[in-house]
Amino acid sequence: MDALDIMSDLDHVIPYFQPIFSADEHRIIGYEILGRYQDSEKVISLGPFFRDRSIPDEFRIEVDNVVLKKAMEKALTLDNDVLLFINRSEELLMNDSGEDLLQLLLKYQEKGISLNRIVLEISNEDPHHQIDHLLNYYRTFGIKIAIDKMKNTSSLLDRIGDLKPDIVKVDLVPLRSMNPPQAFHEILYSLSLLARKIGAALLFKNIEMVYQLQFAWKNGGRYYQGYYLEGPSGQFVPRDSLKNKLKTEFHEFIIYEKRKLEAIVTITDEFQSRLQVILNKTRKYNEYEDLLGALAKDLEGIAFRIYICDEDGFQKSPNLIKMEKGWDIQPEYIQKNWSWRPYFLENIVKMRKEKKGILSDLYHDIETGDATRTFSFPLNGYDYLFIDLSYDFLYKHNQLL
């Protein structure tokens, strides 16, 4: 499609609307406005037109504004709490210091679309600093900011830190393959923690299959968008169109997750009793090393590393580590300090108070790189036992993975 054909036929430039659903209400809470061109027989996305930098800025801005005006006219009929997500490139926004867009939106505020219903989606492709001033200026009018497109994660984290957006959009396309890059899960997990810390909501987009919806729900997604729910359309969809379907599906997710969590509690309890039995029969030992030796026999196939720390995190025993030929002793770990590790002191305090062991979350061991969980256990009034579980054991109890 030639850019000039579009420019000379703006009557056929139209807005499309893709619904965005919320996890807390199971209904449509907003629409992303997308540009389309109505050909004689089909509707064409204007995405490539907007991204084509060889097309003069004025053309792209003009088409952007045509789409937006037509969309706002239609949006006048919506409930007055429905959000409107508007795409703007940072580069084009800076062209006139963002005044055009603001004036257009203010005009529609007079007609009834309050500015706090506007979510401006920006991408983090070429962040530069002046844009932050502009976006903060927009915010004084109530406009919300969303960051879309996570191409480069490290710059995304910077952008999120600088901008403190209201919404972060996360693309689930990498999850389309059944074997997404392993780091994808960890990055998303970090992103969900960061979003929570700064008070931003996560919006997962390109949800095309039910397992992606489940993934989004499980990873702290408050908003969802994608063909699995609704594709873009020239018309607005009734807000409750998927209410029952979503309620049923979320119910399944909840049941599944509760089962998994219950299994983890059961395994934690089993560990607790098992250790008590072992410790009762090895009451007499001179050195912690002897105790660990006795434990290792009973934890064959379960643990790959065992050690003891005091409540400040100083290691009081060597590591006992499982090698191919048997257990090895690593005395060089004595007196190392682990209090800097996430949750370490939190868990110590919890164990001391509840006099019970704790099973950690799933993480990757810093030395072996394997997925593991650690079972920690209060040994006496002052020292704590740490058991790193082997991957084979987790695999056999796959709720732990």
Structure tokens, 353 = 């108070």
Cβ proximity to Ca ion, 88 vs 397, nearer residue: 88
Closest separation between CB of residue 112 and Ca ion, Å? Answer: 24
The Cα-based distances of 193 to 196, 200, 221, 362 in angstroms read: 5, 10, 11, 16
CA atoms within 13 A on the CB side of 235: 2
Closest separation between CB of residue 183 and Ca ion, Å? Answer: 24
Asked if 304 and 368 count as a contact pair (C-beta separation under 8 A), the reply is: yes
Cβ proximity to Ca ion, 124 vs 315, nearer residue: 124
Nearest residue to 242 (alpha-carbon basis) of 258, 222, 227, 255: 227
Burial of 380 (0-12, 13-18, 19+ CB in 10 A): exposed
Binding part of the chain for Ca ion, among 12-20, 120-128, 281-289, 325-333 by CB under 5 A, reads 120-128
According to CB under 5 A, which residues from 133 to 192 bind Ca ion?
A: 148
- Percentages of the chain per state (helix, strand, coil), in multiples of 5: 45, 25, 30
Give the containing element (helix H, strand E) for 73. helix 57-75
Nearest residue to 326 (alpha-carbon basis) of 297, 354, 350: 297
Closest separation between CB of residue 84 and Ca ion, Å? Answer: 12
Structure tokens, 139 = 């915010």
CA 314 to chain centroid, in Å, comes to: 34
Cβ proximity to Ca ion, 206 vs 214, nearer residue: 206
Nearest residue to 125 (alpha-carbon basis) of 92, 164, 83: 92
| Residue from 49, 60, 67, 87 in contact with Ca ion (CB under 5 A) | 87
x-or-dash string of contact with Ca ion, 2-41, rule CB under 5 A: ----------------------------------------
Structure tokens, 375 = 């079972």
Binding part of the chain for Ca ion, among 3-11, 79-87, 209-217, 372-380 by CB under 5 A, reads 79-87
Cβ proximity to Ca ion, 34 vs 66, nearer residue: 34
What is d(CA 373, CA 2) in angstroms, rounded to the nearest whole number?
57
Closest separation between CB of residue 186 and Ca ion, Å? Answer: 25
What is d(CA 262, CA 215) in angstroms, rounded to the nearest whole number?
19
Secondary structure of residue 45 in the 3-state scheme: strand
| Residue from 121, 170, 202, 226 in contact with Ca ion (CB under 5 A) | 121
Under the binding rule (CB under 5 A), the answer on residue 90 touching Ca ion is no
Q: Residue 234 forms beta bridges with which residues? A: none
Binding part of the chain for Ca ion, among 3-11, 113-121, 125-133, 307-315 by CB under 5 A, reads 113-121
Cβ proximity to Ca ion, 121 vs 388, nearer residue: 121
Long-range contacts of 322-330 (CB under 8 A, 24+ apart): 322/296, 322/390, 327/293, 327/296, 329/289
Binding part of the chain for Ca ion, among 15-23, 62-70, 87-95, 190-198 by CB under 5 A, reads 87-95
Closest separation between CB of residue 312 and Ca ion, Å? Answer: 49
Cβ proximity to Ca ion, 82 vs 147, nearer residue: 147
Asked if 67 and 101 count as a contact pair (C-beta separation under 8 A), the reply is: no
Q: Residue 15 forms beta bridges with which residues? A: 35
Q: How many residues bind Ca ion (CB under 5 A)?
A: 3
Cβ proximity to Ca ion, 85 vs 228, nearer residue: 85
Cβ proximity to Ca ion, 22 vs 87, nearer residue: 87
Cβ proximity to Ca ion, 35 vs 378, nearer residue: 35
Question: Which residues contact Ca ion (rule: CB under 5 A)?
Answer: 87, 121, 148
